[in-house]
Amino acid sequence: MSGTSLDGIDSALMDFSGDLPKLVATHYEPYPASVQEKLLALHLPTPDELHQSHLLANELSHRFAHSTKLLLQTANLSAEKVRAIGCHGQTIRHCPESGYTLQLGNAPLLAELSGITVVNDFRNRDIAAGGQGAPLVPAFHDKMMRHPETHRVIVNIGGISNLTNLAPGIITSGFDCGPGNLLMDAWIKLHLDKTYDKDGAWAASGTVIPELLQSLVDEAYFHLPPPKSCGRDLFNMQWLKQKLRGNEQPADVQATLLALSSHAISTAVKRYSDGAKEVFICGGGAHNLTLMDSIGKALPDCSIQLTDSLGLEADWIEAMAFAWLAQQTLKGQCANLPAVTGARHPCILGAIHQA
């Protein structure tokens, strides 16, 4: 899994032989700055973007193959023992309103380099059926974290945050809440040349700007009903700069961006998961102590915990989910949830590239 944060590659080795999937080993491979810069550039129209995107897809596939090799070395396992790689690819455009989403990665090349069958392109089949193509992880959340009696909500905070509503006796629902880490990461990179705000310390040093926060939450996306999904196509630095007057203190803007992420998540829980008793957080944002504290204060009637307390490490849920989605593809089983994505019917997701 390589997500909207553009920080690197999460590789998870999964064992599906038991009643529930088991995480065997993990490996994280950070992207160098040069790759991050290329990816960011391709999020907007650029000269020769078609050629550049294919070159970068090949480069990413070499990196995916290297990450796979190191993961298998960690587990002391040969490639022949692995049924398939579920490769999400790196999103550079997500435009379901235009009928497509684009994740970079050359799956045939990855199969050739790794010697392992590759399943990729998980989102476009759902979009073809009229869905958003996202979020896809709620189906995995449902399998792994649903409780028969307790109303739970799972919140993944990556570059974008998404919510899964697991209410007993009710069909699973979910959607993208809005920005998670991506605006905060971009802002601290611009001003302090850091890739992320460790523990939310810089945001904690600032003061929320009420007028700016109001301008941000007035964005039409937050007021759309589900199903809905979003990405850097909407929430990016250009979007933010249009909201700024230019005289704000950088730390205050960071505090306001954290407040935006907290507001998007907590408002979504209140509006669409009324009565929830437990909220479990996963994704990189789970390590932002200031953000976690803000969400907790906004949801005083909910128990706020990491998914680690359920035996599922917060950093690896999404990579685990795409391994599971690949398994569903190989088994010929539908894996999208129409109540989440808005698709007209369940679909078998993904394309298979045999080794």
CATH value at residue 164: 3.30.420.40
Tell me the chain's radius of gyration from C-alpha atoms: 19
CA distances from 351 to 122, 229, 334 (A): 7, 22, 13
Do 197 and 293 share a domain, yes or no? yes
- Total-model pTM: 0.96
- In whole angstroms, what is the distance from residue 244 CA to residue 102 CA? 30
Do 191 and 304 share a domain, yes or no? yes
Structure tokens at 337: 């949830």
Burial of 16 (0-12, 13-18, 19+ CB in 10 A): middle
Do 149 and 286 share a domain, yes or no? yes
In a domain, 239, yes or no: yes
Do 35 and 14 share a domain, yes or no? yes
User: pLDDT class for 224, splitting at 50, 70, 90?
Assistant: very high
The DSSP output letter for 236 is S
Q: Which of 134, 308, 153 is nearest to 232 (CA)?
A: 134
In a domain, 220, yes or no: yes
In a domain, 292, yes or no: yes
Report the pLDDT averaged over residues 122-132.
98
Long-range CB contacts for residues 328-335, cutoff 8 Å, separation at least 24: 329/86, 329/119, 329/122, 330/83, 330/84, 330/117, 330/119, 335/122, 335/136, 335/139
Do 304 and 168 share a domain, yes or no? yes
In a domain, 3, yes or no: no
**What is the CB neighbour count within 10 angstroms for residue 95?**
13
Report the pLDDT averaged over residues 56-82.
98
Q: What is the pLDDT, as a whole number, of residue 180?
A: 98
**What is the CB neighbour count within 10 angstroms for residue 252?**
16
Do 234 and 287 share a domain, yes or no? yes
Provide DSSP, 30-44.
Answer: EPPHHHHHHHHHTTS
In a domain, 1, yes or no: no
Q: Which of 282, 25, 2 is nearest to 138 (CA)?
A: 282
In a domain, 260, yes or no: yes
Query: How much of the chain exceeds pLDDT 70, in percent?
Result: 100
Q: What is the pLDDT of residues 262-292, one digit of tens each?
A: 999 999 999 999 999 999 999 999 999 999 9
Q: Are 21 and 320 in contact (CB under 8 A)?
A: yes
Do 37 and 123 share a domain, yes or no? yes
Do 163 and 282 share a domain, yes or no? yes
Amino acid at 342: G
In a domain, 93, yes or no: yes
**What is the CB neighbour count within 10 angstroms for residue 139?**
24
Do 148 and 297 share a domain, yes or no? yes
User: pLDDT class for 217, splitting at 50, 70, 90?
Assistant: very high
Q: What is the pLDDT, as a whole number, of residue 21?
A: 92
Where in the sequence is the domain holding 281, given as residue range(s)? Answer: 138-310
- In whole angstroms, what is the distance from residue 43 CA to residue 91 CA? 9
pLDDT over 90 (residue 61): yes
- The tally of domains found in the chain comes to 2
Q: What is the pLDDT of residues 232-268, one digit of tens each?
A: 999 999 999 999 999 999 999 999 999 999 999 999 9
Do 344 and 324 share a domain, yes or no? yes
In the predicted model, what is the mean pLDDT of the chain? 97
351-353 and 152-157: which strand pairing? unpaired
Q: Backbone phi, then psi, for 222, in 5-degree steps?
A: -65, -20
Do 143 and 125 share a domain, yes or no? no
Report the pLDDT averaged over residues 99-106.
97
Do 99 and 212 share a domain, yes or no? no
